[in-house]
Each structure stands twice: as structure tokens, then as C-alpha cells.
Chains A and B, each alone.
Chain A
Amino acid sequence: MEKICGAALGVCFQCKKCSSGCPVAKLAKSRPSEIMRQLHLGAGNELLESDLVWACVSCETCSTRCPMGIDVAGVIDALRKLALERGAPKPAGNVPLFNRAFLRTVQMFGRSYEIGMVAAYKLGTGTWMNDTEKFPTMLKKGKISLLPPRGGDRKTVRRIFKQSKKNQGPQA
């Protein structure tokens, strides 16, 4: 863990500042300080199923306020990385699928394409009806584009994605 995220986990003394400031701690079953403590106690793969790992909004309040300078958000990043690598069960809202859908449009068009992303995500989660009532207004106000974005340097972006896939090895 320390190797992946570069944080010195041992200096945490459980002041719980990270949990007090965490906007999702009260909505999730586990808190950042609890994850830190579980890591001290040698927890393994069970941590990857903690709902905080994907409910975390990456706001970095925990890292900013930690009196010992631990990058707590970096610890969560590392847990996400391991969860993806080790195929942990799908979290609520299937955030990894959302991220993949988003990145797939970037890979294709060089820039993100909302309709494509939303369609792929909804197809994967079966949440067709969510937010559909907002779609006509957003379209009318020009807040959503029907056509995919143009003008981005797709060649460079495709090379980046190719390299990323190579880095992750054959299982990715």
C-alpha cells in the first residue's frame, strides 16, 4: 500500500480529522480514519469492498487537513487501483463503469461526448429512466450536444490510451 500511494501510513494517530471533514463519510458505511486503522491492522482484500472506496468524491479535504501530512485521498486512489486490478465486486452506482464510459468517448473523439457516455453507462446499469425528464430542457438550452465533439487531436489521445493499456498488462 505504502509503495503504491507513497504515503507513510504508520504516522496516523487516529485524530479523525479526515473523517470529520469527509463529505461522504456520513453517507458511507466506513470512514477514512477507519480505513487507515484497518490498514494498520493488516487488512487485505476486504478493504477493496468498502463502499467508501467508490463513494469518495476525490475532494481531497482529508489530505489537506491531515496534521501528519498523509495523502489520505492518495490511499483511496490506491485502493481503487487495486480494486480494478483484482476485480472487486461492483460498488453502488457502478462508478468504474461510469469512468470507463467517459474515457471511452475521450478515446474515440479526443474530447468527452456526454450523450455517448450517458448511453453507455445507462445501458450497463439499466438506469434508463434517471434524469430523462431533464434531457429536453438541457438540449434546448444547448447544455448537451447531439453530435460528437470535433477538432481534438485524436491521434495523440489514441497513443496515450494504447500505452495505458500496455502498462496495465494482459489482464486489462
Chain B
Amino acid sequence: MRYAYFPGCSAESTARDMHQSTLAVARALGIDLVEPKGWTCCGATAGHQTDHFLAVSLPAANMAKVRDMNLDMVVSCAACFNRMKVANHEIAAHPATRKQVGEALERDYDGSVKVRHFLEVLLDDVGLKAISRAVKHSLNGLKVACYYGCLLVRPPKILKFDDPENPMSLDRLVEAIGGQSLDWPCKVECCGGGLSLSRTDVVVQLTDSILDMACRAGADCVAVSCPLCQVNLDLRQQDIRKQTGRNHQMPILYITQLVGLCLGIRRDELGFEKLMVPASTVLEKVAAN
């Protein structure tokens, strides 16, 4: 199994733990990830909110590079995944857009590179049975609230990732490694995304209500697969405590960190020390078996 792997900018800053744990899990499961040389930013929400042409061309520049590698593109950041797939859709559906993008890239790109989230590789290519077999330490019934956020599932017509109201792919993976995935109502609620710095007030309110619900559902931790969700839910717990007095102390882990832990990968290779809210309860529970 060989793929072109697009890390995304956050892999070099706020989401090094996502990047490290993705690479470690891939290695352990025999997945070969090759970075396209010279990859660049997908434009993220800032590009999307500023200019349609930028929002399509910036992802396309990367997909054109992957086109030359003759591999499927694998992305572990939900935001990059979303921008890539939307750009592909726009280019394939609108010849005028394709032409304009082609002029800026100085090459034609037809929108045909297959873009997949790393979760899809784990579920569809490796398969849950193989992952279960590779598990060395079970999650031991750890109660996990799986949080998908927006960018993995919406817009569903373009992303075709999972059910947009009640997705189950993360849940199935958690069950396969011995966890108990919780039925809770905030799976696809929004964390405030890119407004983290510009409208911190909005992000604090949204993350507070999501975390509150995870606590009430009895979660030991929340599993995510988007760097924006992780940072907002993890980092903003300090602000929630200061502003409302509520102390959630809820560990927010990347699903790849949980899978890696079960595969027996060393914690420092999975970036556990980078979490703002420490995951000691999770680690104790897994170590107990």
C-alpha cells in the first residue's frame, strides 16, 4: 500500500502530534506514505472566505504534483482533505475554472487525483479485521466520544465520507481497538474552526457546549481527526475554565494516537507530550491490560 501523503501546514506546527502519529501508525501497518516534493498550503478557510480562485488553485497546485506520482493522495488533516476534494469538484465541473487554474499552474490539471482521508485508508484498505489483529494493547473499554466536526463530512455530496448527521467510521475504528464508542449528540457540531484567534468568544462558547456534552455522556476522552478541532477543544479548555469556572479536563486525542497506542507504538513517537490537557487517564487504562 503506497500513497502520496499530504501533511498540511499544521503538521509543522500545532498538529505535529497528528503528523507523527499518522506516520507511526502507517509504518506499523505497512502503509507506505510518500510526501510530494514542494507541497504548499491548501489555502484553508482563509482562502475559501477570500477568493474562489485562490480556494481552488492552491489545493490544485498540490494535486497536480501528486498526478505525476501516479498515486492516490492521502490527507490526515480534515481541513486540507475538504479543500482538496472541493477543488477537485470545482475543476472537474467547470471547464472555465480548470482553464484559469491551468494558466496559473502553467500546466493543465483535470481534477482527477483521488483524494482520501487517512481514516479511509485504515478502514477500507487495511480493514478493521487486520487492525484488530495487530492490536497489542486493547483500549480496555475506554469510553470514547468520537468527534467528526464539519470538514470531514460536509458538504456530503462532494466529500462522500460518511453519513453527515450520524457518521460511524471513527466509532467503528474505536470499537475495533477495544474501546467503547459513545452515542452522543455533538459528533458533527462545529468547534468554531478558523475563528480561533479572530472570534475567540465564539470558539469558547462552541467548544464549551461540545465538551460539556462529552462529559455528560461519560467520555474518558474525545477522539478527533482534524487539527482545528483538536486545538480548539484542547487549548480553549483554559479559557473556558477562566470564563465560566467549568473545568472539563477532557483529553482530546487524535484517532491515530489512540490506534498507535494500541499497536504498541512508544508514546513519544505518538506526540502524547504535546497535548495541553494530559491524557494520563487514557494511558493508565490502556496500560492496565
Binding site for B on A (CB under 8 A): 23-24, 27, 55, 57-61, 63-64, 77, 80-81, 84, 92-100, 102-103, 106, 110-112, 114, 118, 121, 130-131, 134, 137-138, 141-145, 149, 151-154, 156-157, 159-164, 167-168
CB-contact partner of A156 in B40, B43, B51, B52, under 8 A: B40
Q: Complex: how many Å from CA A24 to CA B105?
A: 37
CB-contact partner of A95 in B37, B49, B52, B188, under 8 A: B49
Interface stretch (choices B139-147, B166-174, B194-202): B194-202
Contacts of B202 in A (CB 8 A): 24, 27, 55, 57
Q: Complex: how many Å from CA A6 to CA B41?
A: 27
Given A102-B44, A163-B103, also A131-B274 (CB < 8 A): no
Please encode chain B, from 220 to 237, with 1 for each CB lying within 8 Å of some chain A CB and 0 for all others: 000000000000000100
Q: Complex: how many Å from CA A157 to CA B9?
A: 14
Contacts of B274 in A (CB 8 A): 141-143
Residue in B closest to A95 when the chains form the complex, CB atoms: B198
Q: Complex: how many Å from CA A67 to CA B12?
A: 40
Contact B273 A98 (CB under 8 A): no
Tell me how many residues of B have a C-beta within 8 Å of chain A.
Answer: 56
Tell me whether B215 is interfacial, beta carbon within 8 Å: no
Q: Complex: how many Å from CA A23 to CA B232?
A: 15
Q: Complex: how many Å from CA A94 to CA B197?
A: 10
Tell me whether B217 is interfacial, beta carbon within 8 Å: no
Tell me whether B281 is interfacial, beta carbon within 8 Å: no
CB-contact partner of A23 in B39, B100, B154, B206, under 8 A: B206
Contacts of A81 in B (CB 8 A): 51-52
Tell me whether B178 is interfacial, beta carbon within 8 Å: no
Contacts of B48 in A (CB 8 A): 58, 77
Please encode chain B, from 3 to 18, with 1 for each CB lying within 8 Å of some chain A CB and 0 for all others: 0000001001110100
CB-contact partner of B49 in A24, A27, A58, A92, under 8 A: A58
Contacts of B61 in A (CB 8 A): 153, 156-157, 160
Contact A131 B40 (CB under 8 A): no
Q: Complex: how many Å from CA A163 to CA B38?
A: 20
Tell me whether B132 is interfacial, beta carbon within 8 Å: no
A-B contact pairs, 8 of them (CB 8 A): A57-B193, A63-B154, A81-B51, A93-B200, A110-B40, A156-B38, A157-B61, A160-B61
* Number of A-B residue pairs with CB-CB distance less than 8 Å in the complex they form: 172
Tell me whether B164 is interfacial, beta carbon within 8 Å: yes
CB-contact partner of B13 in A64, A114, A153, A164, under 8 A: A114
Min C-beta distance of A88 to chain B, whole Å? 14
Tell me whether B276 is interfacial, beta carbon within 8 Å: yes
Given A23-B206, A61-B150, A114-B13, also A160-B39 (CB < 8 A): no
CB-contact partner of B190 in A61, A100, A138, under 8 A: A61
10 interchain residue pairs of minimum CB distance: A153-B38, A59-B190, A99-B46, A102-B46, A93-B198, A59-B150, A60-B154, A98-B198, A163-B104, A112-B9
Contact A163 B198 (CB under 8 A): no
Q: Complex: how many Å from CA A92 to CA B103?
A: 37
Min C-beta distance of B44 to chain A, whole Å? 7
Contact B38 A152 (CB under 8 A): yes
Q: Complex: how many Å from CA A25 to CA B154?
A: 18
Q: Complex: how many Å from CA A23 to CA B12?
A: 29
Tell me whether B243 is interfacial, beta carbon within 8 Å: no
Contacts of A93 in B (CB 8 A): 195, 198-200
Min C-beta distance of B107 to chain A, whole Å? 9
Min C-beta distance of B166 to chain A, whole Å? 13
Q: Complex: how many Å from CA A101 to CA B214?
A: 34
Contact A112 B154 (CB under 8 A): no
Question: Assuming A57-B192, A96-B50, what are 12 further A-B pairs, CB within 8 angstroms?
Answer: A23-B192, A24-B206, A27-B202, A57-B202, A58-B49, A106-B58, A112-B44, A145-B13, A152-B38, A153-B37, A156-B61, A160-B58
Residue in A closest to B51 when the chains form the complex, CB atoms: A164
Contacts of B121 in A (CB 8 A): none
Contact A156 B105 (CB under 8 A): yes
Q: Complex: how many Å from CA A63 to CA B156?
A: 10
Q: Complex: how many Å from CA A25 to CA B208?
A: 16
Q: Complex: how many Å from CA A167 to CA B200?
A: 32
